[in-house]
Amino acid sequence: MTVPRPTSHQGLPAWLHEGARVYDPGRDCEAIVQFIGDFEDPATRRFIHNAVFLRPEGGGKEWILDPDVPRPADDR
């Protein structure tokens, strides 16, 4: 069964969803998408629409990327 994407996520590639394994080229590592949503950095006031919240598999410190940065982990 196909689950419809939230309206806010419809502009994102189909492979980019919560739970997806992705590759972050800036950190040269793979991670798991924890959440996708709007984010405003409290320090810089920079707003990211559909920010991608990542965490290393097995746990660790989360980080945030613009939605156009990560790639599918299989495309390394």
Would you give the DSSP letter of residue 76? -
pLDDT of residue 75: 77
Separation between Cα atoms, residue 18 and residue 31, nearest integer Å: 11
Q: What is the pLDDT of residues 18-50, one digit of tens each?
A: 999 999 999 999 999 999 999 999 999 999 999
pLDDT of residue 7: 53
Separation between Cα atoms, residue 52 and residue 48, nearest integer Å: 9
Give the range among 3-12, 33-42, 46-55, 64-73 with minimum mean pLDDT: 3-12
What is the mean predicted confidence (pLDDT) over 52-64? 94
Give which of 76, 72, 54 is closest to 64, Cα–Cα.
54
What is the mean predicted confidence (pLDDT) over 65-69? 92
